[in-house]
Amino acid sequence: MIKVCKFGGTSLANSENIRRCCAIVQAEEQRQFVVVSAPGKKNKNGRKVTDLLLDCYHNRFDETRFAAAFGEIADTFREIATLTKDFPIEEELSAMRQQLQSSEANLDFVLSRGEYLNARLIASYLDCAFLDAAQFIRFKKGELDVAETLACAKKLRVEGRCVIPGFYGLDEDGHIKTFSRGGSDITGSLVARVFECDLYENWTDVDGIYVSDPKVIENSKKVEQVSFRELREMSYMGASVLHAETLLPIYERPIPIVIKNSFQPELAGTQILQKRTEVSEKETITCITGKNDYTCIQIAKTMLDKQLGFVKKVTAVFEEYHINISHTHSGLDNLCFFVERSQYKEIAFEEFVKVLTARIDADKVKGYEKIALLAIIGHNLSGKVGILAKIFNALRENEINVKTIYQSISECNIIIGIEDNQLKDSVKAVYRGLIENA
């Protein structure tokens, strides 16, 4: 059995935490691939190294501000370097400083240096190899290129344990390219895929996946298992579990993931499997979450069922303005599109509603803003009697008005549209109705 272990920023924030993570690695020979984030926040008010690097980039022509941000980064790495005797930390830091201020350094390169130096330090402490992600992770046209990554990884000779920096790879022009923030999770699954690992351990600072965000629900229930599909829905609907694209490299060749707490490694954590096993079938609901800041466009057209090509005409207008539709509902004579507010980059929302109205010959087009989508995610939801009744009762008791409802064909989510200032209350109400009083 070969394992990849990915450690997040908080787990690696200082030398004490890194020592704890390295003890986890050393406890099992099977833990051969170690993927690391940059050091995260040391305390509540601290700052992540990646955020400080962002400051360095924006202030690269302002010596005072640059020095302030770089000074914090340097202090963090100097403290981590106390773990190893032989690491030439001062030389590395001065080389890094020069690189960050060079006119050739692009943003992605600058952001990647936290992972790079942390991985080198941890490899030195573990006395094992450092394998740069730039040697095999490939991007093409801004997107991860799994096939090319596989081809490059095949050419490498990897023997024994190695530490790999998360979060970045190379693009087709040979420049460093990062994933979006939190992307070391993707590096972990990519490493699992290309080096044919049997398990992906994702070590973080929480005990596993909770039904609801513990910041909203104190003592929220932890789940034992979730399926790939459920995880996709959860991440998409705003639950901050793993990066939303973590499963991309392992969809075709499923590799189980386990989320574990590096501060309490003895706890079981949460397993993420292609399909849940029977053991936890009884855990129907795996997540109650939601997202604010949606817009909704409702379109009414009499005899919609007789209009061939009407939906195509409508979606072509969204496509023209590069507006991604998150969810659609449809009725006999109406259509409803939910779109995240951030999608209106090329055209303002109000303007888009006007353009759409002019282009599609509908009876009525109406736009709504400030919509939140509440999501209830779980296993075989449509096969269970009474779930919807419990949800609606909980919302009614808290005077939360349901604007729309949608149950997906995948049978693993129920999406409910509400006013966006009621999202927290609705999560609390549904949690009480479905979990506490179950």
Q: How far is the CB of 51 from ligand ASP (least distance, A)?
A: 7
Interaction of residue 417 with ligand ASP, rule CB under 6 A: no
Task: Please choose, out of 59-67, 138-146, 181-189, 388-396, the segment that lies near ligand ASP by the rule CB under 6 A.
Answer: 181-189
Upper half-sphere CA count for residue 197 (Cβ side, 13 Å): 29
Closest by Cα among 80, 66, 107 to 11? 80
Nearer to ligand ASP, 108 or 230 (CB): 108
H-state helical runs in 27-106: 49-58, 63-81, 89-101
Tell me, what DSSP letter sits at residue 101? H
List CB contacts of 426: < 8 A, sequence separation 6 or more: 290, 372, 374, 395, 398, 400, 416, 418
For residues 326-353, b (16+ Cβ closer than 10 Å) or e, as one string?
A: bbebeeeebbbbbbbeebbeebebeebb
- Binding to ligand ASP (CB under 6 A) within 5-24 occurs at 9
Relative to beta strand 176-178, strand 168-170 is antiparallel
Interaction of residue 181 with ligand ASP, rule CB under 6 A: yes
Interaction of residue 188 with ligand ASP, rule CB under 6 A: no
- Binding to ligand ASP (CB under 6 A) within 110-139 occurs at 114
Interaction of residue 166 with ligand ASP, rule CB under 6 A: yes
168 in the Ramachandran plot: left (φ > 0), alpha (ψ -120 to 50) or beta? beta
End-to-end CA distance of the chain: 39
Interaction of residue 269 with ligand ASP, rule CB under 6 A: no
Task: Please choose, out of 94-102, 178-186, 230-238, 399-407, the segment that lies near ligand ASP by the rule CB under 6 A.
Answer: 178-186
SS3 at position 424: helix
Task: Please choose, out of 21-29, 182-190, 215-223, 337-345, the segment that lies near ligand ASP by the rule CB under 6 A.
Answer: 182-190
Interaction of residue 195 with ligand ASP, rule CB under 6 A: no
Please select the residue that binds ligand ASP; options are 37, 189, 204, 270, rule is CB under 6 A: 37
Closest by Cα among 233, 154, 242, 199 to 410? 233
Q: How far is the CB of 67 from ligand ASP (least distance, A)?
A: 22
Nearer to ligand ASP, 17 or 227 (CB): 17
Interaction of residue 182 with ligand ASP, rule CB under 6 A: yes
Kindly list the residues in this chain that would bind ligand ASP in the complex (CB under 6 A): 9, 37-38, 48, 50, 114, 166-167, 181-184
